[in-house]
């Protein structure tokens, strides 16, 4: 058990590819976190051959905690995470996407807190809170995201891989240093299953969250959803098939219960999402998405509509 008299040291890693729209806001919010039960050591940004102003924004911060590592060749998100795990120095590592924002200045303190109570806790993930939709398409996705969150939080008391959000995870250092992420879709699922396989536990934190923006068009949504569609096949190469199937299989009665409520309360969104869901599953080139290299979803990158500093 960690000594409660001694604060956990925390490193933050941000994989980034052309993230000028939000990365400055994210770093600022992370530096403003109230260090009640932790000490922030560093914020490591791995710029994956960014061609916009990402690098300049990162280096503009006059704070020794903020460090930039630039890849001269693009390697993809999972490999950028491998670079972070080779370079961080803290007892805990927060991996967070560049297109998110903490909900408030107590965010980090709340996700660090469970590590003081459980020495076998290997991985924590907070709630993901989508920003309100601007277009009809985005509003449908917003309602459907809330539906899926209700389903997953109802399954196994929220202890399942669907609530291990790749966009924001806090790892125990001794566990994450053992991870070598493969070039595979679903690296968030990979980290969750590896956590269980190595005898650690996972916890979903409902008391805090990070904001993110949903895609506002089908093309961008397809880029994101195709990762999930192809992930089970890729993940099965690294874990027993029965383990993978068990963790992907949400009980049907839970799905039907929440879907029925959704149809009653949000009938137009329900019908719209069923069409969107069917279209993503019918996409003919799903196999080509079985990789860690993605085209970016442009419409989900801007969270704050102000000029970047």
**pLDDT score for 309:** 33
Q: For the segment 256-274, what is each residue's pLDDT rounded down to a tens digit?
A: 999 999 999 999 999 999 9
Domain coordinates of the chain in residue numbers?
Answer: 8-300
The closest alpha carbon to 60, from 309, 292, 244, 287, belongs to 309
**Structure token pair of residue 2:** 């960690």
Q: For the segment 190-221, what is each residue's pLDDT rounded down to a tens digit?
A: 999 999 999 999 999 999 999 999 998 888 88
Query: Minimum mean pLDDT among 58-62, 147-151, 297-301: which range?
Result: 297-301
With pLDDT > 70 as the criterion, what percentage of the chain qualifies?
Answer: 89
Which one is predicted more confidently, 288 or 11? Answer: 11
The closest alpha carbon to 174, from 198, 196, 197, 205, belongs to 198
pTM of the complete model: 0.91
What is the average per-residue pLDDT within 243-266? 96
The closest alpha carbon to 77, from 102, 98, 101, 58, belongs to 98
Alpha-carbon torsion, ordered 48, 49, 51, 55, to 10 deg? 70
**Is the confidence at residue 173, as pLDDT, over 70?**
yes
Q: For the segment 73-123, what is each residue's pLDDT rounded down to a tens digit?
A: 998 888 999 999 999 999 999 999 999 999 999 999 999 999 999 999 999
The closest alpha carbon to 158, from 167, 148, 166, belongs to 148
Bridge partners of 213, per DSSP, are none
* Cβ neighbours of 63 (radius 10 Å): 12
**pLDDT score for 307:** 39
Q: What DSSP character marks residue 105?
A: T
> Helix 136-154 vs helix 252-265: angle between axes, to the nearest 10 degrees?
140
Rounded CA gap, 165 and 233, in Å? Answer: 19
Confidence of residue 227 (pLDDT cuts 50, 70, 90): low
**pLDDT score for 159:** 95
Q: For the segment 123-152, what is each residue's pLDDT rounded down to a tens digit?
A: 999 999 999 988 999 999 999 999 999 999
How many angstroms separate the Cα of 49 from the Cα of each of 46, 53, 72, 151, 164?
9, 11, 5, 38, 27
Residues in the chain: 309
**pLDDT score for 134:** 87
Q: Which fold has domain 8-300?
A: Spore Coat Polysaccharide Biosynthesis Protein SpsA; Chain A (3.90.550)
What is the average per-residue pLDDT within 220-225? 77
**pLDDT score for 281:** 76
Angle at 50 between CA 48 and CA 53, to 5 degrees: 140
Query: Minimum mean pLDDT among 13-22, 95-104, 278-287, 300-309: which range?
Result: 300-309
């Amino acid at each position: 058990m960690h000594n409660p008299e001694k604060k956990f040291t925390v490193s933050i890693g941000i994989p980034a590819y052309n993230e000028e729209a939000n990365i400055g806001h994210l770093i600022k919010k992370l530096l403003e976190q109230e260090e009640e039960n932790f000490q922030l050591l560093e914020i490591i940004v791995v710029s994956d051959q960014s061609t916009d102003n990402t690098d300049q924004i990162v280096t503009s911060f006059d704070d020794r905690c903020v460090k930039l590592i630039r890849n001269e060749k693009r390697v993809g998100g999972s490999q950028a995470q491998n670079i972070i795990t080779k370079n961080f120095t803290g007892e805990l590592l927060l991996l967070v996407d560049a297109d998110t924002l903490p909900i408030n200045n107590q965010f980090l303190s709340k996700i660090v807190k469970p590590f003081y109570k459980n020495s076998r806790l290997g991985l924590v993930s907070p709630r993901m809170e989508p920003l309100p939709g601007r277009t009809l398409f985005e509003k449908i996705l917003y309602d459907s995201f809330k539906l899926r969150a209700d389903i997953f939080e109802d399954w196994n008391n929220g202890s399942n891989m669907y609530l291990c959000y790749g966009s924001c995870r806090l790892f125990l250092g001794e566990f994450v240093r053992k991870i070598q992420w493969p070039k595979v879709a679903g690296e968030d699922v990979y980290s969750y299953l590896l956590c269980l396989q190595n005898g650690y536990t996972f916890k979903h934190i409902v008391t805090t969250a990070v904001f993110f923006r949903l895609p506002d068009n089908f093309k961008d949504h397809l880029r994101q959803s195709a990762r999930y569609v192809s992930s089970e096949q890729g993940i099965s190469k690294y874990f027993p098939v029965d383990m993978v199937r068990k963790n992907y299989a949400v009980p049907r009665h839970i799905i039907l219960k929440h879907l029925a409520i959704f149809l009653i309360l949000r009938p137009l969104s329900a019908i719209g999402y069923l069409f969107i869901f069917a279209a993503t599953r019918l996409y003919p080139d799903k196999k080509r998405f079985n990789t860690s290299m993605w085209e970016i979803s442009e419409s989900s990158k801007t969270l704050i509509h102000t000029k970047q500093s």
